Amino acid sequence: MKFRSIKGTKDILPPETSKWQHVEAVIRKIMQNFNYEEIRTPIFEQTNLFTRSIGELTDIVSKEMYTFLDMSKESITLRPEGTAPVIRAFIQNNLTERSPLTKLYYIGPMFRQEKPQAGRLRQFHQFGAEALGSQNPQLDVEMMILPMEILRNLGIEDFTLKINSVGCEKCRPGYKELLKSRLRKIADKLSPDSKARIEQNPLRILDSKDENDKKITADMPSILDHLCIDCNIHFTSVCSLLDSMKIRYEVDSRLVRGLDYYTKTAFEITSSSLGSQNAIAGGGRYDLLVEELGGKPTPGVGVAAGIERILMLMEKNKPDKFPECHPRLFLVGVGETAQVWTFFKAIELRKKGLAVEVDYLSRSTKSQMREANRQKVDYVIVVGEEELKTKAAKIKNMKTGEEKTISLDNIEIP
């Protein structure tokens, strides 16, 4: 019997892993520049953490979560998103005691039972950031800038920022009732999913991907016309900050995101290069979530982005942006004595920080040179009995073909 990876999962193999490492290094650099600290939470949590935070009627909770009973009969779920676990850790570990403002980021796998397709896997990877402790709209804008800076540092410019306000506990209930009254009149024309959402989650109907739903709800009232004074001031401030920084954006009043915990600001970053699965990143404000999960009232705002989709964009737009990962030096040993010497010398040079490879298959000199070419090394040194006697050998630059003699006791790579 041959075992295969589970549908919707993917092995990340060399040389693709070097691309992932490059993207992750850029993410970490930008996060550090913005003073976000890394947090690592378990990949599984109590199921009710997600049902309570994300919302029982969302697609994620109702259709997509990997949930099971452990040996103690407790319901456990593989994390479908990163915000709820971060908030749980924030509350459990009293992170407010460290600082009145907590800024965290994460990188890791998430799990959803979706139909596998390009850019959408059942195990996928995200990076995200959360800022907890302030209602300042500057943080909303910072959350938008974070993924855009990461994309630009990866050579990606083809993206669009879309923003909206989804209101708060003061103004959203009235808008939802207005929306329900309008939607009930056209309920028979809606898709089954949207029809089921009319009473409990009508805002999600505005974000339906069903083309017929989009057409028949096109004239629904905009939430932006029904914001309370506080939400209106906050959204206007966000727009003013973006304008003053000359950051281009589109206001999309139908943008509500797929998670129930958002309040006020919601945003997405999309790219036309990705086709139907065009979202790269998304986020928003969640000023009630910490309290909802048992903590003290703490405003928060966050963002998350799909790493697989970023890699797809890089392949489409800037395939030359991936750095090559290969040894700097290949030591070719001619004969058994020389091959043993290359092994010891490689260990010595590696300890000094040099990436070195040698032959472990007792191959001919010609085969070793072919292997050095395949690995795209920068330099090759061929060592045989004569070179060991004289303690000198020629080092060859594999790009230019230039050769020069060096001491084997003092190997240095430019």
Q: What is the pLDDT of residue 319?
A: 67
- The alpha carbon torsion through 85, 88, 93, 94 (nearest 10 deg) reads 130
* Mean per-residue pLDDT, 26-41: 98
Average pLDDT, the chain: 94
pLDDT tens digits along 192-229 = 989 988 888 898 898 888 899 989 898 999 999 999 99
Q: What is the pLDDT of residue 226?
A: 96
pLDDT-based confidence at 292, cuts 50/70/90? very high
Cα separation values, 338 from 341, 384, 412, Å: 5, 5, 19
* Mean per-residue pLDDT, 383-387: 97
pLDDT tens digits along 298-352 = 999 999 999 999 999 998 876 666 777 889 999 999 999 999 999 999 999 999 9
* Mean per-residue pLDDT, 42-61: 91
Q: In whole angstroms, give the CA distance from residue 276 to residue 288.
A: 32
Q: In whole angstroms, give the CA distance from residue 180 to residue 159.
A: 33
List of residues 6+ apart from 142 with CB closer than 8 A:
34, 131
> Per mean pLDDT, which range of 167-176, 250-259, 306-315 is the poorest?
250-259
Q: What is the pLDDT of residue 27?
A: 98
User: Measured between alpha carbons, how far apart are the two ends of the chain, in Å?
Assistant: 50
pLDDT-based confidence at 56, cuts 50/70/90? confident
List of residues 6+ apart from 169 with CB closer than 8 A:
263, 288
What the chain holds in terms of domains, given with CATH numbers, is 16-171+227-321 (3.30.930.10), 329-407 (3.40.50.800)
Q: How large is the C-alpha radius of gyration of the chain?
A: 27
Q: In whole angstroms, give the CA distance from residue 161 to residue 212.
A: 25
List of residues 6+ apart from 210 with CB closer than 8 A:
191, 193, 194
- The phi, psi pair for 105, rounded to 5°, reads -140, 160
In the predicted model, is pLDDT for residue 259 greater than 80? no
Q: In whole angstroms, give the CA distance from residue 339 to residue 363.
A: 10
Of 117 and 377, more confident: 377
263-270 and 160-165 beta bridge pairing:
antiparallel
Q: What is the pLDDT of residue 318?
A: 67
* Mean per-residue pLDDT, 356-373: 97
Q: What is the pTM of this model?
A: 0.91
Q: In whole angstroms, give the CA distance from residue 407 to residue 51.
A: 67
Secondary structure letter of residue 278 according to DSSP: -
pLDDT tens digits along 80-118 = 999 999 999 999 999 999 999 999 999 999 999 988 887
Secondary structure letter of residue 291 according to DSSP: H
Instruction: Provide the percentage of residues in the chain whose pLDDT is more than 90.
Output: 82
